[in-house]
Amino acid sequence: MQDKTISGFSRLSKEEKLNWIAEQFFEKPQETIKELKSFWHEDAEQQRVFDGFSENTVSNHFLPFGIAPNFVINGDVYAVPMAIEESSVVAAASSAAKFWSKRGGFHAKVLSTRKVGQVHFSWTGNSAALKAAMPDIEQQLREDTRHITTNMEKRGGGIQDIELVDLTAEEPGYYQLRVTFETCDSMGANFINSVLEEFGVSLQQMAATHDLLRREEASLDIIMAILSNYTPECVVRTWVECPVEALDAAGQNMDAATFAEKFAKAIRIAQIDPYRATTHNKGIFNGIDAVVLATANDFRAIEACGHAYAARDGRYRSLSSCTVKDGVFKFWMDLPLAVGTVGGLTRLHPIARLSLEMLGHPNAETLMMIIATTGLAQNFAAVRSLVTTGIQKGHMKMHLLNILNHLKATPAEQEQAAAFFADKVVSFTAVRDYIKQSRNNRLVPEHFLKK
């Protein structure tokens, strides 16, 4: 087998990296190089910025950038930017936004904004001595990190609480400092990690110098110092509500009361059954991730936190809830959501910068509300389809263009196919057969398609 490993790849120029990868792993190297270069930004300076976002870059990976209009949130109207490749997500969010814009809009509020970091360490001495020394330790930790926290404190943020957590029952000698932070309009990862690493240095120094700890003749070893992406105290709530009779247009061939009860039952199923909850919550993150990506926030951290929160009582459940009570339909969601509108890539990435401008230059709390609301809208649209027409009808209609592009249909063929499938079930086989027949200038037999 040919050895395709390489030493020093990161030290190669961008052109050299591209040439090497094309020669080693592609059947047509020159065509591959040409195609990858076609995605380079025409502005060399902008491409240099993109290259700086990551390592070993050879090209750019594009995602469609769409807009979901008509979001009314706390009385303000937004056109929400969404970066996503999945068919029907933007259309579904837009549909839900328009539906609720006529029924009082969405409501949202931030419940808390505290983020969490941890210093994990081992201590071989008496736990009582460590606990007794904590007031002095905390004071020293705050003092030793003043040079890092001063600017954040001027903006109203900084270190909140420092708690000693004894986990020796789970792992011998294992403790942690659990620290909460307020990072204002920044996501704060670099700030939090810098503080925590400084805490680690200071904690070791205090173990050697503090009277209560020194006399233990014990060792304190820092294992790691790192933020946690689980932020159950950085939570936003979003909801819609209306009289049940206002849902009269929600379900095709279904009265408002029947729709409301069926919808609420579907949400309840997602709270009971983790198999359904996983797909249910994935749909919520279809909306959330799209806005998070558009604003250059960390969708991986947000997803990890959201799924952990969904299992916070020991069982994985729906993130959203629904009630039908006293003639009122209410649909809501509490979601931990740590985002930023300053720092990171929010100003460096041109699309992220434009996305934030489109949203009115929101602060972090406003962006939390917009993102969570988009997730709830996406969830409403998906569950509405599931309990009425089924998910595939709308999804495959949106997927039709992808199928046609896969089949290399011309613009004229695409237009004709869109008209033909307007009242028919879309499937890859049906579209393929239609294109084949149309190219042969024959009518499509009805047995290929279902009305």
Say which of 265, 282, 393, 406 is annotated catalytic. Answer: 282
| Alpha-carbon gap, residue 213 to 223, rounded angstroms | 18
CA distances from 280 to 218, 318, 346 (A): 50, 7, 29
Say which of 17, 51, 76, 86 is annotated catalytic. Answer: 86
| Alpha-carbon gap, residue 280 to 2, rounded angstroms | 45
Give the list of residues 6+ apart from residue 222 with CB closer than 8 angstroms, or none. 119, 120, 121, 200, 203, 204
SS3 87: coil
Token pair belonging to 326: 């006293």
| Alpha-carbon gap, residue 205 to 137, rounded angstroms | 10
Say which of 138, 216, 298, 365 is annotated catalytic. Answer: 298
| Alpha-carbon gap, residue 387 to 174, rounded angstroms | 49
SS3 188: coil
Q: How many whole angstroms from its chain centre is CA 145?
A: 31
Say which of 115, 120, 395, 397 is annotated catalytic. Answer: 395
| Alpha-carbon gap, residue 127 to 218, rounded angstroms | 11
User: Is 86 labeled as catalytic in the residue annotation?
Assistant: yes
CB 306 within 8 A of CB 281: yes
User: Is 395 labeled as catalytic in the residue annotation?
Assistant: yes
Reference 178, options 107, 130, 108, 120; nearest CA is: 120
| Alpha-carbon gap, residue 322 to 261, rounded angstroms | 10
Cβ atoms within 10 Å, residue 88: 20
Token pair belonging to 48: 């240099």
User: Is 282 labeled as catalytic in the residue annotation?
Assistant: yes
CB 160 within 8 A of CB 138: no
Reference 260, options 249, 269, 271; nearest CA is: 249
What sections of 181-340 are H helices per DSSP? Answer: 189-209, 211-214, 256-272, 274-294, 299-310
Reference 121, options 32, 37, 24, 204; nearest CA is: 204
User: Is 298 labeled as catalytic in the residue annotation?
Assistant: yes
Kind of pairing between the strands at 220-228 and 115-123 = antiparallel
Reference 98, options 379, 381, 371, 359; nearest CA is: 381
CB 299 within 8 A of CB 346: no
Q: Which residues are catalytic?
A: 86, 282, 298, 395
